[in-house]
Amino acid sequence: GRAKVVSSPYSYSVTSYNLTAVVESVSPLLEVRLIYRRILINDSHQQLGTWKEVSFKPAWRASSTQHFLSYTIRGLQSAAVFQVHVQASNRYGWGELSDVYQFYTRGPDDDFFERN
């Protein structure tokens, strides 16, 4: 099935983001791929960074067809905006890419995005 990102879009970290996603699959997941890029937004246009890819082997939970995935993307720029797709594979092949999901890293002076 298609993965869905369920983590908060706001990272508690300056240089990493802990992504959590859920995917439906009857058979065990073999591999999960995260494809992400930074986007720079200003008044007139947005500049899209190069897509980067990271993959990992998920933990298998046999109790349910719902698989919860968690991965920390490290080495990110602070106070930045990113887009990510999640894709999972099982013995039948790769599922569809998730919808694009936008997330934000903290700046060095942000109090966990709670200031107005």
- Per-residue pLDDT tens over the stretch 68-102: 999 999 999 999 999 999 999 999 999 999 999 99
Domain ranges for the chain, please list them.
Answer: 4-104
Per-residue pLDDT of 42-73, as tens digits, reads: 878 889 999 999 999 997 665 688 899 999 99
Residue 116 pLDDT? 36
Tell me if residue 31 falls in helix, strand or coil: strand
pTM of the prediction? Answer: 0.87
Burial class (CB in 10 A: 0-12, 13-18, 19+), 58: buried
Per-residue pLDDT of 3-36, as tens digits, reads: 999 999 999 999 999 999 999 999 889 999 999 9
Q: How many other β-carbons are positioned within 10 Å of the β-carbon of residue 49?
A: 15
Dist. CA 116–CA 113, nearest whole Å: 8
Output phi, psi for 90, to 5 deg.
Answer: -130, -170
Q: How many other β-carbons are positioned within 10 Å of the β-carbon of residue 43?
A: 4
- Domain 4-104 listed as CATH 1.10.260.40: no
